[in-house]
Structure 1
């Protein structure tokens, strides 16, 4: 029996390696959120059904494949993995840190080079489907849609020889706790937030408004905000280097953003349609769309990168090809997945109105992001 780290598991998934997962969490937890990957098979048998022995599982497990036992925190998976080894099975692993650790792991993926030597990275939170970004240029860095695990961002910038000068959120998030403000406080950076999403916040911020250009480094790489409401009233997209479009939770590779997480779906439908069908339609087809989330493992491209050409999305993304206003309204108000776990508490935390401790923050975030209309 060996431990498999979230990083090792991520590598297997991104390389489409064969893996069989035995998830021993309760069925309700499994149905809500599970590990997915191309080349990955998964079976759920609750831990309590295996307390008296693993005979029930043995006949259902393949021979010759790596078998990874998964639970919430790792304890139950170690117990079951030990029983499988004692029963004569080989290639048995348990997920180190369990689903909690899987939810928090970030995989840095290089998106591309920017002008005059800059770089753009996507930090893929593969267990939750969240995407953050870091721009590096001339010894400076900007972090966009930072996760609460701010040490990862600080260490990544340090490894690249850069000082974090700006942190930005494309909108007030409802699926995860933002680390942008805390990272800014820790590093002396400026924290930017769309003012229309900040009417109830309890802290100071720099208003992120259309027309402002935020320079990063000496190479004049600029982040140009574009007001793009619909997911929230303040949602703001960024054009970087006239080549990349960071779309926040407005547009994804296989779907579009949902307008209901502040309880105002009917009010924000028109804004969402205008952003997608007018604001974005007037942008260059050659912009590379980089969203703040992915909903399905099929959206992970080479090396784990999640991206698509804007013109291609207007061809094959179903959310961008709805002719009728009424049909669009029906789609984004009636065809919605369950809302993210504890999304109201997460919004309150991101406003500064709640201050959960670290363990409470982990619990609030457990589960998938569910920020898209088409996610199931």
Structure 2
């Protein structure tokens, strides 16, 4: 009997529904420590597969034979081998994750955020393996997608299910950690692609400038996306407000952290903009706005059903990055606590500018690894 497999979608459902989940990750320890599957109720054991080539005796005492075990590797091959060994050793409920971490990196889980006025809806697409968040706004047969990921077919299939036409594709900034799907979706669906002009100085394609105060109307006129210029992560970063209720902050503000200003090598230059946006511009907004960021860093940020969100007023009370009154102390916190750069970030930026055009396999490899867009106070 062949080993059972589990799809990334099935695993994602378990994580967002807070089910107890046991992962046996058989990648090398350095790869595991850099990037792994996480969740509020996820237990992970790492045992490199080369330690298990002659059998699983070494880990038998770490595992419950009756508990469901999901074996994970880089691409799905080694996990199959280890899973079969566990099966032969009497473990009755073992699965191999189809496609391994490479497939996990690409899975998008749609989570409904809210019903909007006049029948519209707002969805958050959670990329659990990468920490990326994108948004799907639909109203009266039309849709706008904000900060779309590279896997455009997922959004197209979702739009088809909802019976809506994708009209507007918005990037809140020029991304450096993942390849945007916005321009491709605009081309494929005959939609309009929006990008902040200050982030588009080197792009090789035409676009519609995302400008402060210039609404994007989706379907019914009451569903408006209002851009707010909010530099800091990049010099063009622009936030969006939907129906005066939801604040899409891009990579400027997260639930547990704030954006980093250095992915174009401009940390010292842009940290002042970041502080002004967070400590002045956002302060002028309503405390009751629900913050919907473009990334998250920690499993604990996943709320009910997998949603990542927080009330703006609450973040000013809880997010350490918003509580540094001294300007020099803030500058030091941001510039001295920068995590490692995202994998292939410079080539990702150039891809999003249209300067280079990697093939699909290269694009997948460029995105492997965790997101690193945040500064943690």
Give me the TM-score of the superposition, normalised by structure 2.
0.98
2:32 equivalent among 30, 33, 36 = 30
Across the two proteins, how many residue pairs are aligned to each other?
A: 375
Q: Which residue of 2 aligns with 1:342?
A: 344
Task: Supply the distance in 2 between the matched residues of 1:345 and 1:55 (Cα, whole angstroms).
Answer: 43
Q: Which residue of 2 aligns with 1:297?
A: 299
Q: Which residue of 2 aligns with 1:71?
A: 73
Task: Supply the distance in 2 between the matched residues of 1:17 and 1:215 (Cα, whole angstroms).
Answer: 39
Task: Supply the distance in 2 between the matched residues of 1:324 and 1:116 (Cα, whole angstroms).
Answer: 45
Q: How does 1:101-140 map to 2 (within 5 A)?
A: 101-140=103-142
Secondary structure of 1:224's aligned partner: strand
Q: How does 1:90-101 map to 2 (within 5 A)?
A: 90-101=92-103
**How far 1:374 sits from its partner (Å)?**
1.6
Alignment pair present for 1:52 and 2:54: yes
Secondary structure of 2:284's aligned partner: coil
Q: Which residue of 2 aligns with 1:249?
A: 251
Secondary structure of 2:355's aligned partner: coil
**How far 1:60 sits from its partner (Å)?**
1.9
Secondary structure of 1:104's aligned partner: coil
Q: Which residue of 1 aligns with 2:321?
A: 319
Quote the RMSD (CA, aligned, Å). Answer: 1.0
Give runs of ≥4 in structure 1 deviating > 3 Å.
none
Secondary structure of 2:263's aligned partner: coil
Give me the TM-score of the superposition, normalised by structure 1.
0.98
Task: Supply the distance in 2 between the matched residues of 1:207 and 1:19 (Cα, whole angstroms).
Answer: 44
Question: In the alignment, is the contact (CA less than 8 A) between 1:255 and 1:372 conserved in 2?
Answer: yes
Alignment pair present for 1:222 and 2:214: no
**How far 1:15 sits from its partner (Å)?**
2.1
**How far 1:327 sits from its partner (Å)?**
1.1
Question: In the alignment, is the contact (CA less than 8 A) between 1:200 and 1:351 conserved in 2?
Answer: yes
1:150 equivalent among 128, 145, 152 = 152
**How far 1:63 sits from its partner (Å)?**
3.5
Q: Which structure 2 residue ranges, 5 or more long, are not aligned?
A: none
Alignment pair present for 1:208 and 2:222: no
Task: Supply the distance in 2 between the matched residues of 1:189 and 1:175 (Cα, whole angstroms).
Answer: 24
Question: In the alignment, is the contact (CA less than 8 A) between 2:65 and 2:90 conserved in 1?
Answer: no
Question: In the alignment, is the contact (CA less than 8 A) between 1:18 and 1:65 conserved in 2?
Answer: no
Secondary structure of 1:280's aligned partner: helix
2:373 equivalent among 368, 371, 374 = 371
Alignment pair present for 1:163 and 2:161: no
Question: In the alignment, is the contact (CA less than 8 A) between 2:66 and 2:91 conserved in 1?
Answer: no
Q: How does 1:227-246 map to 2 (within 5 A)?
A: 227-246=229-248
Q: Which residue of 1 aligns with 2:310?
A: 308
Question: In the alignment, is the contact (CA less than 8 A) between 1:115 and 1:219 conserved in 2?
Answer: no
Task: Supply the distance in 1 between the matched residues of 2:267 and 2:109 (Cα, whole angstroms).
Answer: 33
Task: Supply the distance in 1 between the matched residues of 2:222 and 2:19 (Cα, whole angstroms).
Answer: 41
Task: Supply the distance in 2 between the matched residues of 1:310 and 1:278 (Cα, whole angstroms).
Answer: 13
Secondary structure of 1:131's aligned partner: strand
Task: Supply the distance in 2 between the matched residues of 1:323 and 1:70 (Cα, whole angstroms).
Answer: 44
Task: Supply the distance in 1 between the matched residues of 2:340 and 2:295 (Cα, whole angstroms).
Answer: 16
Q: Which residue of 2 aligns with 1:266?
A: 268
Q: Which residue of 1 aligns with 2:277?
A: 275
Q: Deviations over 1:189-246 (max 9, x none)?
A: 0000001001111111011111211111034311110000000000000011111100
Task: Supply the distance in 2 between the matched residues of 1:128 and 1:143 (Cα, whole angstroms).
Answer: 18
